[in-house]
């Protein structure tokens, strides 16, 4: 089922998500719905809070070398922890909760993380490139943070002005 994605400045996006404790049918349905929702909106990453569920759960599905987004490459991440970060990289990010806005964001280049899968099994992985960026972006959602909070003062001010205008136009 496709769920509604909440968008900035919905206050729910500021919530800190809670750890998943039940690896049951309800969690699996949430993950399946998140995948369907993300694909329908042409996204490559989505956190549960973006569909108004404050749980530490996120999905990432990067396109392969042929630009194909296949379920084989889907990662489902429950209760993630970033164990190590190093290096610096800048990437022009977008977010389904801040549609049609893209801006450069600086993040760690490489990360080492631990997380659980939908059955509750733990894995430890090292990521770099786009996966490291997407992982950090989605983990920020779980802390109630959006990429626009990483902008410079002037860029944020410009964004807020444009966003207010855009929202007013939609009413």
Compare residues 27 and 96 and give the one whose CB is closer to ligand Y12: 96
Report the partner that residue 44 touches, choosing among ligand Y12, Co ion, none (CB closer than 5 to 8 A by kind): ligand Y12
Contacts of 101 (CB under 8 A, 6+ apart): 94, 95, 148, 159, 162, 163
49 binds Co ion (CB under 5 A): no
Is 138 annotated as catalytic?
A: yes
* Omega cis (within 30) before 12: no
Closest distance of CB 51 from ligand Y12, Å: 13
Instruction: Please state the separation of Cα 9 from the chain's center in Å.
Output: 16
Contact 46, 40 (CB under 8 A): no
Closest distance of CB 101 from Co ion, Å: 11
Q: What is the binding site for ligand Y12 (CB under 6 A)?
A: 42-45, 91, 93-96, 99-100, 130, 133-134, 137
Strands (DSSP E) along 117-162, which ranges?
122-128
Compare residues 78 and 147 and give the one whose CB is closer to ligand Y12: 147
Compare residues 25 and 65 and give the one whose CB is closer to ligand Y12: 65
Compare residues 76 and 93 and give the one whose CB is closer to ligand Y12: 93
CA distance 164 to 46: 24
Contact 70, 99 (CB under 8 A): no
Nearest by Cα to 96 from 132, 61, 55: 61
User: Which residue among the candidates 122, 138, 145, 149 is catalytic per the annotation?
Assistant: 138
95 binds Co ion (CB under 5 A): yes
What does the binding site for Co ion look like in residue numbers (CB under 5 A)?
95
Residues known to be catalytic:
138
């Amino acid at each position: 089922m496709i769920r509604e994605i909440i968008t900035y400045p919905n206050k729910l996006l500021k919530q800190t998500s809670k750890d998943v404790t039940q690896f049951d049918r309800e969690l699996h349905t949430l993950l399946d719905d998140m995948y369907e929702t993300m694909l329908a909106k042409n996204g490559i990453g989505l956190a549960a809070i973006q569909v108004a569920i404050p749980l530490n759960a996120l999905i990432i599905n990067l396109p392969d070398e042929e630009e194909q987004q296949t379920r084989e490459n889907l990662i489902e991440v429950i209760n993630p922890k970033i164990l190590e970060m190093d290096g610096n990289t800048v990437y022009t990010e977008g977010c389904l909760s801040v549609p049609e806005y893209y801006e450069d964001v600086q993040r760690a280049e490489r990360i080492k993380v631990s997380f659980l899968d939908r059955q509750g099994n733990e894995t430890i992985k090292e990521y770099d490139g786009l996966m490291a960026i997407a992982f950090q972006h989605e983990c920020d959602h779980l802390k109630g943070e959006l990429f626009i909070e990483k902008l410079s003062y002037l860029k944020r001010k410009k964004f807020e002005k444009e966003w207010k205008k855009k929202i007013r136009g939609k009413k």
